[in-house]
Amino acid sequence: MTDSDPVDGLRPGMRAVVRRRIDHGVTDALGEVVAMDADTVSVRTRRGVETIERAAVLAAKEVPPRPARRGAPHLAVSMHDLEQIMVQGWPPIERAELGGWLLRAGAGFTSRANSVLPLGDPGVSLSEAVHRCENWYDERGLRRLFALFGPAGFAVNDDPLGRELLARGYEPFNNTAVLTAATRTLPPELPHPSGATVRLESAPSPQWWDAWADRSGHHAHADPRAVRAVMSGSPDQLFASLEVDGVVVGAARLALAQGWAGVSALHVAPEHRRSGIAVELMGALGDASRSRGIRSVYLQVLKANAPALGLYGQLGFNTHHEYCYLGG
């Protein structure tokens, strides 16, 4: 084994293509990575699970989910698959599965990292599934939260889980739009009038953390260890910052997973808003995504945030689906 082992970047749960040597040439295995050990990697393909000797692998890379419909990749992905991708972009510290439901915990830092994500059949009755989830969060001293997603304009009471939760007294909040775009539509980075350019780092600098911490104060009491674990926990990420006169005036984060780029934590200092800094940051993140061969990008915006929705619409983003939380 060497540092250049082509499967080192893979892990179970990824959708990947693995190219290997065979007697008369090469062949590819495309599908979900289901297991890895020191000698082999197993991929679930349309033909079944293929166990491949790592020594025979020539190349391997993660690929986006199979399209659910015709159209551009950023529109053809299913809601289910995109929700799974977004988990990798904002990963919980602790997770558990109940059938097709994902239970997420992150010491209370953000609803996204501390809620149930129903991705399929829980394997038990709806009432029993909700009961088990409630116990799981109670054991951790966390609020009972469920994330419910659906097409744009979906109603919580149209969903069986939504009706179950409403009947238990849960209340919906944070109606959010998931926006997607083709990375080619994002503008290239344009230098700031001061000449400053966006700095991209694989790990957040102290200055990046300071700028992000100043954004709104609503996570001021979060456990710093939880904040860092969630925001640094993606398979691959970049932290963008724009510094003017020694002060970071704009910051953002880019998570890279399954052939997608996810933008989060974008913040511009109040006194520098409407000066093009957000577009400059998005341009730098677009450049970084394109340089890695990534074709699609997503982000999440509260539906009540009209200025942000307007900005992203101008950059080529469209609503893919929506979600909200229900808290008990």
Which top CATH class is 15-62? mainly beta
Nearest Cα residue to 300 out of 264, 268, 254: 264
- Does the pLDDT at position 49 exceed 50? yes
**What are the domain boundaries of the chain?**
15-62, 73-175, 181-319
Instruction: Determine the average pLDDT of the residues in 67-78.
Output: 83
Instruction: Determine the average pLDDT of the residues in 77-87.
Output: 94
pLDDT at position 181 is 98
pLDDT at position 1 is 39
Partner residues linked to 20 by β-bridges: 27, 57
- Calculate the average pLDDT of the chain: 91
- Does the pLDDT at position 305 exceed 50? yes
Domain 181-319: CATH architecture, name and number where available? 3-Layer(aba) Sandwich (3.40)
Distance (Å) of CA 147 to CA 110, 172, 248 = 12, 9, 33
Instruction: Determine the average pLDDT of the residues in 273-296.
Output: 94
Instruction: Determine the average pLDDT of the residues in 51-70.
Output: 86
- Does the pLDDT at position 217 exceed 70? no
- Does the pLDDT at position 186 exceed 80? yes
- Does the pLDDT at position 283 exceed 80? yes
**Span of 27-31, 206-210, 219-223 with lowest mean pLDDT:** 219-223
Query: Helix crossing, 160-167 with 126-139: angle to 10°?
Result: 60
pLDDT at position 3 is 55
Which pTM does this prediction carry? 0.84
As a whole-number percent, the residues of the chain with pLDDT over 70 amount to 97
pLDDT at position 69 is 77
